[in-house]
Amino acid sequence: MTLFPFFKRKTFSRGVHPDANKSTAGNPIRRMPFASRMILPLAQHIGKPAVPLVRAGEEVVRGQPIARADGFLSVPIHAPADGVIESIELKPSARGPWVESIVLRVYEASTQEVRWATPRDVHTLSPREILQAIQDSGMVGLGGAAFPSHAKLAAPPEYKIHTLVVNGCECEPYLTCDHRLMLEYPEDLLDGIRLAMKAVGAERAIIGVEDNKMDAVAAIRAAIEKSGHSACDIDVQAVETKYPQGAEKMLVKSLLGVEVPAGGLPMHIGVVVNNVGTLALLGSLIPQGKGLTERVVTVTGPGIKKPGDYWVPIGTPMRTVLEWAGAADAGEREIILGGPMMGQAVASLDVPVTKGVSGILVFDKLQLESDRKVWPCIKCSECVKACPMGLNPSMLGMLAAQREYESMGSTYHLGDCFECGCCTYVCPSHIPLVQQFRVAKGILRGKAT
Ligand code: SF4
Ligand code: SF4
């Protein structure tokens, strides 16, 4: 038994401590101007792609719905600027395949004003009406998952939700967009939390923030006090700065001390987890009856001259963002969308910023390549010690090399791997374990269908 339980930091077992590199945390969010042309993929969320509501040649105004949701697991898309629809055609996506996209030519005179909005009194909305309003706003998980937010909050009736866990960890190195939102928009965050609590029927919300962002904890505490809300129903708590503290299951363990069962979801133990960025935007958009047209993106890395957090209109081509932020010689650089641990390399600079893009990181390609020389496994077990899910990545890696995919799934619980990358990060042999696991999962999924 520890002698000092009161000083023990809230955390989970294992994980890693990568360098934070959060140099952009100290500067206010800036606004990025409109690109002359925006690309809006119909599939920028998990679920069915949206269905176009416009045709080529049609004029639209900022905030106007230009594609509707196709069923429950889908969200609409809104015009990010005033302009004219140029085409609806296949365009490259960040993952590689070309996807159907709406191309908008932006009027030079387009302003930041959103003219398509229907303000509403949120206090009179029922939980079902709140969910509908969230779907109509086009909101998805802005932490990177891009899962439709209304669907995440619509827990089946057999699961009684008692707690909304609000993820303010931002444990990925380099990313600071959530940190800035917590500092600059704590009131919007509280408004979004209240809406989400009502939608799911939760009696309390706990905001978990890593203890390297105590200024954000203070800003939220001050906003709670100012709002007259008691700390009993909305509370903010610091958790240990450790990767992947922001993973749903890890944060639930850290804050509530309970495990989400293997193969289960937080809702199975009465908890729903939402990201601070998503809730802050909901708190702003829902009362105004507006759709999601922009998001905060961290643009940083050694290859960026003007690093910072920016309000970026959804649909802005990556090339335009990088030109604006001063990325020199983009051809010699490696561009990562999201954080360095779980993000993905971009196949083309012509891909746009979509709703799930939290960061654009620019690294030196040559440096990364020299880091990537792969050696045989030396059985050091560092990966086992790092895996927050208690898996055996070394064994999984050996099975992947032998293409023993079934055994990876049935005996070594590959399905519990959520691809955090801790094993790859600590491996002294630079074995691309998480990349192997992604391939294995894809093959197993393919066999199951
Ligand atoms: S990527 Fe998977 S196996 Fe590797 S540490 Fe994370 S959860 Fe464990
Ligand atoms: S960390 Fe790498 S070298 Fe060490 S046991 Fe795991 S796979 Fe092998």
Residue 5: pLDDT over 60: no
Mean pLDDT for all residues in the chain = 92
Q: Which amino acid is at 409?
A: G
DSSP code, position 171? -
Question: Per residue in 26-58, is it b (16+ CB within 10 Å) or e — as a string?
Answer: eeebeebebbebbbbbbbbbbbbbbebebeeee
pLDDT band of 253, cuts 50, 70, 90: very high
**Chain-centre distance of CA 140, in angstroms?**
9
- How far is residue 103 from each of residues 41, 58, 79, 116, measured CA to CA in Å? 9, 11, 10, 19
Q: What is the pLDDT of residues 145-200, one digit of tens each?
A: 789 999 999 989 899 999 999 999 999 999 999 999 999 999 999 999 999 999 99
User: Which ligand is the nearest neighbour of the Cα of 422?
Assistant: 1
* Structure token digits, residue 78: 């809104």
Is the distance from the beta carbon of residue 314 to the nearest atom of ligand 1 less than 6 Å?
no
Q: Atom 4 (ligand 2): residue with closest C-alpha?
A: 380
Mean pLDDT of 115-122: 89
* Under 8 Å between Cβ of 308 and 24: yes
Q: Which of 37-46, 269-278, 309-318, 370-379 has the lowest mean pLDDT?
A: 370-379
Mean pLDDT of 261-284: 94
H or E element that contains 32 = none
Q: Ligand 2 centre and the CA of 410: distance in Å? A: 21
Q: What is the pLDDT of residue 291?
A: 97
Q: 223 by DSSP, 3-state: which? A: helix
Is the distance from the beta carbon of residue 379 to the nearest atom of ligand 2 less than 6 Å?
yes
Give the mutation target among 374, 385, 391, 394 for probing the ligand 2 site: most ligand atoms within 8 A of CB: 394
Q: Atom 2 (ligand 2): residue with closest C-alpha?
A: 427
Give the mutation target among 377, 436, 437 for probing the ligand 2 site: most ligand atoms within 8 A of CB: 377
Residue 2: pLDDT over 60: no
Strands 65-68 and 77-78: antiparallel
Question: Per residue in 266-298, is it b (16+ CB within 10 Å) or e — as a string?
Answer: bbebbbbbbbbbbbbbbbbbbbebbbbbbbbbb
Residue 371: pLDDT over 80: no
Model pTM above 0.85: yes
**Chain-centre distance of CA 404, in angstroms?**
32
DSSP code, position 71? S
- What is the share, in percent, of the chain residues with pLDDT greater than 70? 94
User: Which ligand is the nearest neighbour of the Cα of 381?
Assistant: 2
Mean pLDDT of 426-448: 90
User: Which ligand is the nearest neighbour of the Cα of 426?
Assistant: 2
